C-alpha cells in the first residue's frame, strides 16, 4: 500500500497486479476487493487473477508457499510483457533481507547467501528495500493509509515467521539499530565479494590452461597460496562440483595420481602436476532424471521409481523397507533430480543425527561389489542435497517429524 501510494505521488505510469490464492476464503476475497478499490482511487489499471494454489501444489509436489511464489512471479512477468511495462516492483524491505540471510545461514551458505534480497534482478525491482518494516508502518500511519494484514503472518508455522517473531526480536535486544547496521553489512559483503571475485578471476586467467578441450589447473602453484581449497572450488563450481567434493579432491594432493571426481557433466582428475577437468562421455545409465511430475514413474536401471504425496494423519503407519523412503515435503525444493552417485558425495544418514557420511563409505559398509556400486543412484533435493541413496538409506534432515503436515513417498520396484 505504501509503495502504491509513493508511485501515485510520483506520478509514475504503473498498474497494480493482485493474486487471489484462495487460501483464506472470505479474507482472500476481501483482499482482492480492497486492491481493486485502491487501484480505482489512484487511477491505476488493475490486473487480478485467481489460482487454485493447493491443487497446483499437489500436482507439482511442492509446498503451498512455494506454489504461491511460483504462480505469482510467473503471472507477474506475463502481465509485464503483455502490458508493456518495464519492471515488476515488489515492496520487500530491509527486514525481509534480514530474514533471508538468517534463513540461509541456518541452512548453510556461502557468500552468495549473505547478500540478502537484490535491489534489482533483471526486470524485478524492490524500491523499498532501503526501509525497515517499522518505517513503512510509520509512513502508513502518518499518511493515514489503510492496509490489510495477512492473518497467516502471525503464525510461527512458516520458517520466515519464526525468524521474524522469535529470532529478530532477540537480535534487536542486542542491537536496537539492527536494520540500519544490517543494511550496511550487506553492502560491505557485496563489495567484498565483488573484490574477491575480481581478484580470483585475474588469478584464474593467469594459472589455468586449456589443452585439447580440457581445463588444466596446476597443483604446485596452488599449494603456496592462501586458501587453496577455496581457490580450487572457485574454478570447479562452474563445472558442477560442490565444495564438499573439492575438499575431498584436495585431500588427494599428496597421494598417488588417478583420483577422480564427477559432476553431472564433468570429470576432474588429479594428475601428477595438474587437476584436469574434462567433459564426461556419458552413457545411457549416467543420464540425470529431472523429477517434475510426482505422478509419473521413472526408470532407474532395472527398477522403476514412483512418487506419491500423502497428508499425514495421527494413524499414519510407515513401511519399514529399503524400497520406500518418506520425506517432509515442506523441506523439499523442486524439481528433484536422480543421478549416479559420484565420489565426494556426502549425506546425513537417517538415524545419525548431525553426522555426515560419504556415500562411498556407505557402499563399503553395505559390502556391495563394483558392478552393484555402479548401479547405485541418488535422489537430490533442488538445493543438491542428497535426500536418498536409493534403495539403501534416506537423509536425516528430511525425515518426517511431529510437525510434518504432508509427506512425499518414493518407492522403487522391479520394472514390469
Whole-number pLDDT of residue 373: 81
User: How many whole angstroms from its chain centre is CA 190?
Assistant: 20
294-321 mean pLDDT:
82
In the chain, which segments carry CATH 3.30.465? Answer: 211-279
Highest mean pLDDT (candidates 21-25, 32-36, 207-211): 32-36
Q: At what angle do helices 228-236 and 243-250 cross, to 10 degrees?
A: 130
Convert the pLDDT of each residue in 253-302 to its tens digit.
887 777 888 887 888 888 878 898 988 754 434 467 888 777 777 887 77
Calculate ∠ Cα 225-228-234, nearest 5°.
120
Convert the pLDDT of each residue in 185-199 to its tens digit.
988 988 998 899 999
pLDDT beyond 90 at 12: yes
Calculate ∠ Cα 293-295-296, nearest 5°.
75
CA gap 134, 365 in Å, rounded: 55
User: How many whole angstroms from its chain centre is CA 164?
Assistant: 20
Tell me what percent of the chain is helix, strand and coil, each rounded to the nearest 5: 45, 20, 35
In the chain, which segments carry CATH 3.50.40.10? Answer: 285-414
Q: What would the grid cell of residue 158 be?
A: 512458516
CA gap 97, 187 in Å, rounded: 12
Q: For all residues of the chain together, what is the average pLDDT?
A: 87
Structure-model confidence comparison of residues 371 and 407, the more confident one: 407
CA gap 284, 321 in Å, rounded: 28
Convert the pLDDT of each residue in 263-275 to its tens digit.
878 888 888 788 9
CATH architecture label of 285-414:
3-Layer(bba) Sandwich (3.50)
pLDDT beyond 60 at 85: yes
Calculate ∠ Cα 308-313-317, nearest 5°.
70
212-234 mean pLDDT:
90
Q: How far is CA 281 from CA 55, 193, 278, 375, in A?
A: 41, 35, 9, 17
pLDDT level of residue 219 (50, 70, 90 thresholds): very high
Which candidate, 198, 197, 216, places its Cα nearest to that of 207? 216
Residues 369, 270: contact at Cβ < 8 Å? Answer: no
Map residue 163 onto helix, strand or coil.
helix
CA gap 56, 68 in Å, rounded: 9
pLDDT level of residue 158 (50, 70, 90 thresholds): low
pLDDT beyond 70 at 416: no
134-151 mean pLDDT:
90
CATH fold of 2-182? Rossmann fold (3.40.50)
104-122 mean pLDDT:
82
CATH fold of 211-279? 3.30.465
CA gap 335, 317 in Å, rounded: 27
CA gap 35, 30 in Å, rounded: 9
pLDDT beyond 90 at 309: no
Helix (H) or strand (E) holding 220: helix 219-223
pLDDT beyond 70 at 358: yes
pLDDT beyond 90 at 315: no
The pTM score is: 0.57
Q: At what angle do helices 94-107 and 178-207 cross, to 10 degrees?
A: 60
Whole-number pLDDT of residue 282: 45
Whole-number pLDDT of residue 266: 86
pLDDT level of residue 151 (50, 70, 90 thresholds): low
Q: Which residue has the cell 490489510?
A: 148
**Which residues make Cβ contacts (< 8 Å) with residue 324, sequence separation at least 6?**
409, 410, 411, 412
CA gap 261, 267 in Å, rounded: 6
Residues 39, 46: contact at Cβ < 8 Å? Answer: yes
Whole-number pLDDT of residue 129: 92
pLDDT level of residue 34 (50, 70, 90 thresholds): very high
Whole-number pLDDT of residue 116: 82
396-401 mean pLDDT:
91
169-197 mean pLDDT:
91
Whole-number pLDDT of residue 89: 96
pLDDT level of residue 314 (50, 70, 90 thresholds): confident
Which candidate, 338, 337, 359, 340, places its Cα nearest to that of 348? 359
Q: What would the grid cell of residue 254 be?
A: 599428496
Q: Which residue has the cell 499414519?
A: 316
Whole-number pLDDT of residue 285: 42
**Which residues make Cβ contacts (< 8 Å) with residue 370, sequence separation at least 6?**
none
Q: What would the grid cell of residue 364 be?
A: 563399503
In the chain, which segments carry CATH 3.40.50.620? Answer: 2-182
Amino acid at each position: 500500500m505504501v509503495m502504491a501510494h509513493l508511485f501515485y505521488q510520483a506520478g509514475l505510469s504503473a498498474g497494480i497486479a493482485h493474486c487471489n490464492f484462495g487460501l483464506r476464503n472470505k479474507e482472500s476475497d476481501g483482499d482482492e476487493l480492497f486492491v481493486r478499490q485502491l487501484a480505482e482511487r489512484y487511477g491505476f489499471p488493475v490486473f487480478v487473477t485467481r489460482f487454485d494454489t493447493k491443487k497446483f501444489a499437489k500436482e507439482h509436489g511442492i509446498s503451498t508457499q512455494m506454489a504461491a511464489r511460483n504462480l505469482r512471479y510467473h503471472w507477474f512477468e506475463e502481465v509485464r510483457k503483455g502490458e508493456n511495462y518495464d519492471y515488476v516492483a515488489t515492496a520487500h524491505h530491509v527486514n525481509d533481507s534480514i530474514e533471508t540471510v538468517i534463513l540461509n545461514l541456518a541452512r548453510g551458505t556461502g557468500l552468495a547467501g549473505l547478500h540478502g534480497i537484490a535491489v534489482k534482478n533483471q526486470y524485478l525491482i524492490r524500491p523499498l528495500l532501503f526501509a525497515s518494516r517499522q518505517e513503512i508502518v510509520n509512513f502508513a500511519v502518518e499518511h493515514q493509509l489503510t492496509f490489510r494484514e495477512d492473518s497467516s503472518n502471525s503464525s510461527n508455522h512458516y520458517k520466515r515467521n519464526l525468524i521474524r517473531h522469535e529470532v529478530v526480536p532477540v537480535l534487536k535486544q542486542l542491537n536496537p539499530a539492527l536494520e540500519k547496521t544490517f543494511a550496511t553489512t550487506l553492502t560491505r559483503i557485496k563489495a567484498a565479494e565483488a573484490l574477491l571475485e575480481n581478484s580470483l578471476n585475474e588469478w584464474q586467467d593467469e594459472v589455468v590452461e586449456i589443452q585439447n578441450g580440457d581445463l588444466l589447473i596446476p597443483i604446485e602453484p596452488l599449494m603456496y597460496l592462501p586458501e587453496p581449497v577455496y581457490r580450487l572450488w572457485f574454478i570447479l563450481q562452474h563445472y558442477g562440483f560442490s565444495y564438499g567434493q573439492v575438499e575431498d579432491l584436495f585431500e588427494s594432493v599428496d597421494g598417488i595420481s588417478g583420483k577422480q571426481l564427477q559432476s553431472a557433466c564433468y570429470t576432474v582428475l588429479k594428475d601428477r602436476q595438474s587437476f584436469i577437468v574434462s567433459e564426461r562421455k556419458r552413457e545411457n545409465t549416467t543420464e540425470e532424471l529431472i523429477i517434475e511430475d510426482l505422478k509419473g514413474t521413472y526408470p532407474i536401471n532395472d527398477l522403476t521409481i514412483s512418487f506419491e504425496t500423502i497428508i499425514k494423519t495421527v494413524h499414519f503407519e510407515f513401511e519399514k523397507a529399503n524400497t520406500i523412503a518418506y520425506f517432509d515435503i515442506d523441506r523439499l525444493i523442486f524439481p528433484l533430480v536422480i543421478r549416479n552417485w559420484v565420489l565426494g558425495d556426502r549425506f546425513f544418514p537417517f538415524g545419525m543425527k548431525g553426522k555426515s557420511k560419504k556415500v562411498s563409505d556407505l557402499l563399503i559398509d553395505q559390502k556391495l561389489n563394483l558392478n552393484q556400486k555402479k548401479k547405485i543412484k541418488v535422489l537430490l533435493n533442488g538445493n543438491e542435497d542428497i535426500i536418498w541413496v536409493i534403495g539403501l538409506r534416506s537423509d536425516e534432515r528430511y525425515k518426517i517429524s511431529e510437525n510434518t503436515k504432508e509427506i512425499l513417498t518414493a518407492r522403487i520396484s522391479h520394472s514390469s
